[in-house]
Chains A and B, each alone.
Chain A
Amino acid sequence: MKATRILAAALIAAALTGCTGGGKAPSVGLTGAGATFPYPIYSKWFEMYHESTGVQINYQSIGSGGGIQQLKAGTVDFGASDAPLNDEKLAEMPHPVLHIPTVAGAVVLAYNLPELTQPLQLTPQALAGIFMGTVKTWNDPAIQAANPGVVLPATAVLAVHRSDGSGTSNIFTTYLSAVSPDWKTKVGANTSVAWPAGVGAKGNEGVTGQVKQTPGSIGYVELAYAKQNSLATAKLQNSSGAFIEPSLASTTAAIRASAQALAADVRAPTVDAAGPDAYPIAALTFILVYEDQKDAAKGKEIANFLHWAIHQGQDEVEALQYARLPAEIVTVDEASIAKLTSGGKPLAAR
């Protein structure tokens, strides 16, 4: 009896707060689907945005491929992808699609060489050789040349790659294709490729586990994942010749170095960027929206949210080990958001 009364009171209280909340909240909710890589920051953003505006955003992190499919089918209001759509895929979409970069990330090389006391340094050629299977031992001249005075073991190199299709693999193979003509012609870039060497492990956690338990192994994982698990990561030589430690700052620097190309086309590649302090395997992750929104109220909310994400939202990203957008890209995004229309009428953002 008493329990029932408490329950009733709780229900009434919930209904009342629901009403007061509903008073200021617009009734539109948004749904999105796509990339898993930005999921931690997106869910944080959606929660914060809901608290401050009352707008509910639901997001399914089903993978970039699935996000693109759902946007194409019109079952979601926005998609999310780690890789921009290429011209061919863009042409397959029923309406023009805008790419809005939201945060940047980097792919880092975690290795297991207990003998080493200082960070391993790698040139792009040595890295491509390791994953091609042409660099077979750690004391190969290609690796030794970049690590003068370091005694490298004569043990076999085990290259560990992602076995599951992933945006991380896409960024990594895009980078290898950019720096190695051999890789470009023989393997290429994609979410999964025909790996010429090494073993495949599932997910960031699988690659990490494999590297951690196998001396002599090297694998690629997301920067955020490597930071959270304190993995030893290699310094990678960038196009200016400097060996750069992967970090949030060097990732943002890489995006900034590509700003000019991104301003012309936001889908431009950001790997192997030219800046002297740029980490070479950096990339943006995107929210994909139709340029012309069917539903004006929803379109307006999308514009508002995107504006919030590229401004206030950026203060939250570093706590979750994402690199923030440089000011140049925020400007590019602002221009893209201003292009959003509904029935041809612009949906001016706040």
Chain B
Amino acid sequence: MRRPLPPRRRGPTVDSVYRVVLASAAAVVFVIVALIVVEVAHGSMPSIRALGFGFLIQTQWDPVADHYGALPYLYGTLVSSILALILAVPLGLGSAVFLAELAKGKVAATVSFVMELLAAIPSIVYGIWGFFVLAPFLRTVLEPWLIANFGYLPLFRGTPFGIGMLNAGIVLAIMIVPTIVSISREVLLAIPRSLREGSLALGATRAEAIGITLDAAKPGILGSIVLALGRALGETMAVTMVIGNTNRISASLLDPSATMASVIANEFTEATGALYLSALIQIALVLFAVTIVVNALARGLVWLTTGGRRDIAAAA
């Protein structure tokens, strides 16, 4: 009969193997990101050298004259993503609170299931829906109504095309709602019951109790919004189909626009000139930088709102 080895003797070897395996898994992720940065930066060099800082502030994108300015795309990416957040955050947060705090059993299970279904739909399907279903509705109903009632605002001036910034914002909002809902719901469920019970016992109303829970869950909720924003910034196919692909900066949400991801998707395959190709790669580099800056800002925000509690800030 074999006697089991004492755990203390065996432990360190198993632990170190385990550690190495996990560390290399983490290292692979790091190396992939590093390689992407190096490769994209290398590919951008001709464009950076030829166009300099002007690339970020100029508005002309002209492959014929070999002159490239990315500002309209930078603008389009940021505005469409912010618009998506404005629409998706109240919706997502509302349903997360409903699912975590109010809905019971079957209702919660069904709604959660539907939410996860929404997350699994390929982005091209959202694009087709936005193009063939949402666009005609916007063109014939919503946009004329916005122009008639809010046309005095620069936001709602122009011609109702159906496609454009508004359409892209709505499609993106629907795409990122599941991210906000599922993460926020988990965070809310993780808040100890005692907190709700305590506030109810002290005489808080249901709404006040939810408010206290939300406050405790703030870092996690902000984290879900950051993740959702990340998806909106990088979304390519659906946006390309509904945004109108025009490199002009317009204050109106009804006008067509373009994003960094959409111009890469549109022009990369047929870009023949060396500088043209390099300018497109530089757009990828800028998109990468924008994502990093946005993430850093969001982490800073979480850090500020949690009063510097690093554990929660890091978790978000």
B64 x A202 contact (CB < 8 A) = no
B142-173: contact bitstring with A at CB < 8 Å (1 yes, 0 no)?
Answer: 00000000000000000101111000000000
Q: Which of A103-111, A160-168, A278-286, A325-333 contacts B (4 or more CB under 8 A)?
A: A160-168
- The docked-state distance in angstroms from the alpha carbon of A194 to that of B267 is 12
B63 x A191 contact (CB < 8 A) = yes
Assuming the contacts A89-B272, A194-B61, asked whether A210 and B163 have C-beta atoms less than 8 A apart, the reply is yes
A63 x B266 contact (CB < 8 A) = no
B162 x A214 contact (CB < 8 A) = yes
A165 contacts which of B240, B256, B269 (Cβ < 8 Å)? B269
B63 x A193 contact (CB < 8 A) = yes
Q: Given the complex, which residues of A lie within 8 Å of B161, measured CB to CB? A: 158, 199, 214
Q: Is B73 on the interface with A (CB-CB < 8 A)?
A: no
* B304 nearest CB across to chain A (Å): 40
Q: Given the complex, which residues of A lie within 8 Å of B43, measured CB to CB? A: none
- The docked-state distance in angstroms from the alpha carbon of A187 to that of B164 is 23
User: In chain B, residues 245-268, which have Cβ atoms closer than 8 Å to a Cβ of chain A?
Assistant: 245-247, 256, 258, 262, 265-268
User: In chain A, residues 201-221, which have Cβ atoms closer than 8 Å to a Cβ of chain B?
Assistant: 201-202, 206, 209-210, 213-214
A40-76: contact bitstring with B at CB < 8 Å (1 yes, 0 no)?
Answer: 0000000000000000000000111110110000000
- The docked-state distance in angstroms from the alpha carbon of A199 to that of B159 is 12
Q: Is B219 on the interface with A (CB-CB < 8 A)?
A: no
Q: Given the complex, which residues of A lie within 8 Å of B271, measured CB to CB? A: 65, 165, 191
- The docked-state distance in angstroms from the alpha carbon of A199 to that of B136 is 15
B62 x A200 contact (CB < 8 A) = no
B256 contacts which of A68, A199, A206, A214 (Cβ < 8 Å)? A199
Closest to B139 in A: A214
User: In chain B, residues 164-203, which have Cβ atoms closer than 8 Å to a Cβ of chain A?
Assistant: 164
A132-153: contact bitstring with B at CB < 8 Å (1 yes, 0 no)?
Answer: 0000000000000000000000
B270 x A189 contact (CB < 8 A) = no
Q: Is A38 on the interface with B (CB-CB < 8 A)?
A: no
B241 x A192 contact (CB < 8 A) = no
Q: Given the complex, which residues of A lie within 8 Å of B262, measured CB to CB? A: 163
Q: Given the complex, which residues of A lie within 8 Å of B135, measured CB to CB? A: 213
Closest to A63 in B: B269
A194 x B269 contact (CB < 8 A) = no
B47-79: contact bitstring with A at CB < 8 Å (1 yes, 0 no)?
Answer: 000000000000011111100000000000000
Closest to A200 in B: B245
B266 x A202 contact (CB < 8 A) = yes
B272 x A193 contact (CB < 8 A) = no
Assuming the contacts A199-B244, A200-B246, asked whether A164 and B266 have C-beta atoms less than 8 A apart, the reply is yes
Q: Is B131 on the interface with A (CB-CB < 8 A)?
A: yes
* B156 nearest CB across to chain A (Å): 17
Q: Is B132 on the interface with A (CB-CB < 8 A)?
A: yes
B131 x A199 contact (CB < 8 A) = no
* A336 nearest CB across to chain B (Å): 23
A199 contacts which of B64, B163, B268, B272 (Cβ < 8 Å)? B163
Q: Given the complex, which residues of A lie within 8 Å of B246, measured CB to CB? A: 195, 198-200
B241 x A202 contact (CB < 8 A) = yes
A165 x B241 contact (CB < 8 A) = no
Assuming the contacts A195-B246, A200-B245, asked whether A164 and B64 have C-beta atoms less than 8 A apart, the reply is no
B64 x A190 contact (CB < 8 A) = yes
* A72 nearest CB across to chain B (Å): 10
A190 x B269 contact (CB < 8 A) = no
Assuming the contacts A156-B159, A158-B161, A200-B256, asked whether A191 and B270 have C-beta atoms less than 8 A apart, the reply is yes
B65 contacts which of A89, A188, A202 (Cβ < 8 Å)? A188
Q: Given the complex, which residues of A lie within 8 Å of B247, measured CB to CB? A: 194
- The docked-state distance in angstroms from the alpha carbon of A202 to that of B63 is 18
Assuming the contacts A199-B256, A214-B161, asked whether A192 and B270 have C-beta atoms less than 8 A apart, the reply is yes
Q: Given the complex, which residues of B lie within 8 Å of A63, measured CB to CB? A: 269-270
- The docked-state distance in angstroms from the alpha carbon of A158 to that of B256 is 12
Closest to B163 in A: A199
* A250 nearest CB across to chain B (Å): 27
Assuming the contacts A189-B64, A214-B161, asked whether A163 and B139 have C-beta atoms less than 8 A apart, the reply is no
Closest to B132 in A: A209
- The docked-state distance in angstroms from the alpha carbon of A213 to that of B246 is 19
* A140 nearest CB across to chain B (Å): 16
B132 contacts which of A64, A193, A213 (Cβ < 8 Å)? A213
Assuming the contacts A190-B64, A199-B256, asked whether A163 and B162 have C-beta atoms less than 8 A apart, the reply is no
Chain A residues with a Cβ under 8 A of chain B: 62-66, 68-69, 89, 156, 158, 163-167, 187-195, 198-202, 206, 209-210, 213-214
Q: List 8 A-B contacts (CB under 8 A).
A: A156-B159, A158-B159, A163-B245, A167-B270, A190-B63, A192-B267, A194-B65, A199-B161
Ordered nearest first, which 3 A-B pairs have the shortest CB separation? A165-B270, A200-B245, A163-B245
